Structure 1
Amino acid sequence: MRPLKKPTLTGICDQMASHDWSDAELEELVKPQFGIITEFQDLLLELEELRKVDLGETPPALSVQRRLLP
């Protein structure tokens, strides 16, 4: 997965517009400045890790352990 860039988000917003995002809001997703606990990029990386999990091998929900990202 490539790092998130503002032009990527701008393109997505232009093609799938459901909300008018300001430049400041998009910039905050790419480079948080206001104390967001988890960066959007970190969330995308975690989702990528989850996407790779073979659900056929996944035990019941309470026993699933979170894998730490490198």
Structure 2
Amino acid sequence: MQKLQKNTLTGICSQMASHSWSEAEINELVDPKLGIITGYQDLLNELEQLRKIDLGTIPPAMSVQGADRND
């Protein structure tokens, strides 16, 4: 996956204009400065890692025992 670039977001925002994004909002997504815990690029990287997981190796949700279950 390529690193997020401002011109990519600007293009997406203009082509999918359901919300008008300010220049400051786009800049914040590309290079967070306002104390966001997870930047947009970090989120994209995490989603890419999840996309690569073979779901066949993960047990069904019902087979996972939580600490709060009383079976």
**TM-score class, shorter:** 0.7 to 0.9
CA distance in 1 between partners of 2:24 and 2:40 (Å): 14
Task: Determine if the alignment matches structure 1 residue 3 to structure 2 residue 26.
Answer: no
The higher radius of gyration belongs to 2
What count of residue pairs does the alignment treat as equivalent? 64
TM-score by length of 1: 0.81
Identity %: 69
Q: How large is the Cα RMSD of the aligned pairs?
A: 2.0
| CA offsets 1:10-61 (integer angstroms, 9 cap, x no match) | 0011111111000000000011111001111000000000111111221244
* Residue 68 (structure 1) aligns with: none
* Residue 29 (structure 2) aligns with: 29
Measured after TM superposition, the shift of residue 5 of structure 1 is: 0.7
* Residue 42 (structure 2) aligns with: 42
Structure 1 segments of 4 or more deviating over 3 A?
60-64
Query: What one-letter code is carried by the residue in structure 1 that aligns with 2:41?
Result: Q
TM-score by length of 2: 0.80
Where does the alignment leave 5 or more consecutive residues of structure 2 unmatched? 65-71
Query: What one-letter code is carried by the residue in structure 2 that aligns with 1:56?
Result: G
CA distance in 2 between partners of 1:21 and 1:28 (Å): 11
